[in-house]
Amino acid sequence: MEAFSHLGDVVSLANLAAMLLGIVVGLIIGAIPGLGPPMAIALMIPISFTWEPQTALIMMVATYAAGIYGGSFTAILLRAPGTSASAASAIEGFELTKRGKAIEAIRMSTFASVMGGLISGLVLLFLAPPLAKISLWFGPVEFFLVAILGLTAIAAVSFGALLRGLAAGMFGLFVSTIGVDTMTAFPRFTYGATGLLSGVGVLPAVIGLFAFAQALTLCEGSPHTNISGKSKLSWNIWPKFSEIMHCRWSLVRGWSTGLVMGMVPAAGASVAQWIVYSWEIQRGKPGDQFGKGEIKGLAATEGSNNGVTGTSLIPMFVLGIPGGISAAVILGALMIHGLQPGDTLFTKNPEVIYTVMWGFVLANILMGGIAAVLARTMAYSTLVPRGILAPVIMIFCVIGTFTASGNPWDVWIMVTFGFIGYFAEKYRFIPAGILLGIILGPIAEQGFRNTLVLSDGDLISYTATRPIAIVVIVMIIGALYFALKPKKWETAAETYDTQADEYAEGNDD
């Protein structure tokens, strides 16, 4: 097979050095809330101008994979997701950190992400051209339904506060309508504020709802205690076999969801983590502690995060359709180096494309070792007293938000969502629901309105002719049914509630 004939090309000194550079830069920049993989990749483009195309692209894809994982560091350790793709991991990951299990969370996260990226990279390598056709099957109605499927996750992540969770989701959907309507060019709810014309960005919202709100929560209670309640950390950064076996099916669900959703342009990466998280909650068994630090929940979301990375590059390489912002930046890098995406890339430049794909696979393996050590170093932040950590996180939120967009309005939006997120968490309005609404609102609204146009108003007949849409509708009905069905672990968790409260009280002096 042609792919194997280029395996040796990837292990040149230049390619390996570029890969390592991409991994380190991606991990560090991905960890800072607001910066993320697109910025990391964009920063690397100028330094790669004079490089060989495959070396440059290996660095870009390594940065992408590492950046996605890097966002999970701060999500797990500080509840400050570096990217919106890590928001779901922040829920269970940070709860594990609060229970003094930061290192366990990090090593499971590393394993899930590395394996997810590896499997995704192998799928990219061997199945890219045939799978690319799947991306073309998704039209407006499918995007709309995938967004609705993502929104059903709100019911699952409400953890017993269903009405409040749904209200939070509706609030998020409403917020997503602020700004200029892309179809009519009419401003909605901007009240003359020019900074609101472009709407409420996902990045300021995720930083505010999670990171800034968490910093405000850290201001409660004793300032001298730390997040984890521990005074030292273990160096056991490699997952135990028993831990992997405990989470094996969660990992499989995470990886498979990421692989499939990565091929859905635009919507896939945002939705994958929430779909698998709600799936995991629905599959919970008595004794599981979803919402209070369940390692299986973290394994699933982390598996899907990096499971998305390889397959999200398939539509970009094969069809020239970027699946997300990071893929769009990589597409730009591809064209800067004189390459055109599509079938010709595989026929005229197989030595480039296959080497890059092998580079992606190898980068995920190397990322494991580097990420584990880096994450262990970053875990020291959980030993810092809350009174000092809180303002530092807030300052990083401001700097990250401003650096990402250069727009002062985004900083104000971020802080506003910080206030909203703090009170939402306090009064059980589920910040994750608000975020889901903001992320999926534009996709849902755009998809719905485009569908109305394409179907001439006859939605049902139009949808009935599209098999993918019917499959997604069945999935939505199933997701709603299982989300509303009482879960076995929730009854057991009510007993744990008392224990968790006692632990929290004992932690605060």
Partner 1 sequence: MSMSKIRAERVTAIGMIVVAGFFITQSQNLPSTSGAFPKFTEFMIIALAGIMILRTFITRDEKLSGDVRFDFSYMGFKPTLVMIVAAFYIYAVFQVGFYASSIVFYFLVTYMTGIRNYKVMAIVASVLFPLMYVFFNIALGADLPKGILI
- Residue closer to partner 1, measured from CB, 224 or 488: 224
Residue 8 and residue 334: Cα distance in Å, rounded?
22
Q: Please give the structure tokens belonging to residue 429.
A: 């309005």
Cβ 260 to partner 1, closest distance in Å?
28
Tell me how far, at minimum, the Cβ of 151 lies from partner 1, in Å: 11
By the 10 Å C-beta count (0-12 exposed, 13-18 middle, 19+ buried), 264 is classed as buried
Query: Closest approach of Cβ 380 to partner 1, in Å?
Result: 13
Write the secondary structure of 430-496 as one string of H (helix), E (strand) and C (coil).
Answer: CHHHHHHHHHHHHHHHHHHHHHHHHCCCCHHHHHHCCHHHHHHHHHHHHHHHHHHCCCHHHHHHHHH
Q: How far is the CB of 339 from partner 1 (least distance, A)?
A: 27
Residue 364's alpha-carbon distances to 62, 83, 293, 378, 495, in angstroms, are 7, 18, 26, 20, 40
Q: DSSP secondary structure string, 46-58? A: GGGTTS-HHHHHH
Mention every residue, 6+ apart, whose C-beta is less than 8 A from residue 26.
37, 40, 62, 63, 64, 65, 66, 67, 69, 70
Residue 34 CB, shortest distance to partner 1, in Å, is 11
Of the two residues 49 and 419, which places its CB atom closer to partner 1 in the complex?
Answer: 419
Beta carbon nearer to partner 1, 14 or 162: 162
C-alpha 313/C-alpha 60 separation (Å) is: 12
Beta carbon nearer to partner 1, 244 or 452: 452
- Select 160 or 342, whichever has its Cβ closest to partner 1: 160
Minimum CB separation of residue 33 from partner 1 in Å reads 13
Residue 328, classified by CB atoms within 10 Å of its CB into exposed (0-12), middle (13-18) or buried (19+), is middle
Residues 6 or more apart whose Cβ sits within 8 Å of residue 80: 33, 74, 90, 207, 210, 211, 214, 215, 393, 396, 397
d(CA 176, CA 325): 18
* Alpha carbon 91 to its chain's center: 12
Identify which of residues 54 and 401 has a Cβ nearer to partner 1 in the complex.
Answer: 401
The sign of the dihedral angle between the CA atoms of 282, 288, 294, 298 is negative
Shortest distance (Å) from residue 43 CB to partner 1: 7
Per-residue exposure over 236-259, b if at least 16 CB sit within 10 Å of its own CB, e if not: ebebeeebbeebeebbebbbbbbb
Cβ neighbours, 10 Å, residue 153:
27
Residues that bind partner 1 (CB under 8 A): 43, 160, 163-164, 166-167, 170-171, 173-174, 177, 181, 183-184, 186, 188-189, 216-224, 385-388, 390-392, 394-395, 398-399, 402-403, 406, 408, 411-412, 415, 418-419, 422, 427, 441, 445, 448-449
CB of 338 or CB of 406, closer to partner 1: 406
Nearer to partner 1, 108 or 168 (CB): 168
Tell me whether residue 132 or residue 389 sits nearer to partner 1 (CB atom).
Answer: 389
Q: How far is the CB of 157 from partner 1 (least distance, A)?
A: 16
Task: Give the nearer residue to partner 1 in terms of CB position, either 170 or 468.
Answer: 170
Q: Closest distance between partner 1 and the C-beta of residue 57, in Å?
A: 22
Q: How far is the CB of 184 from partner 1 (least distance, A)?
A: 5
> Cβ(203)–Cβ(405) under 8 Å?
yes
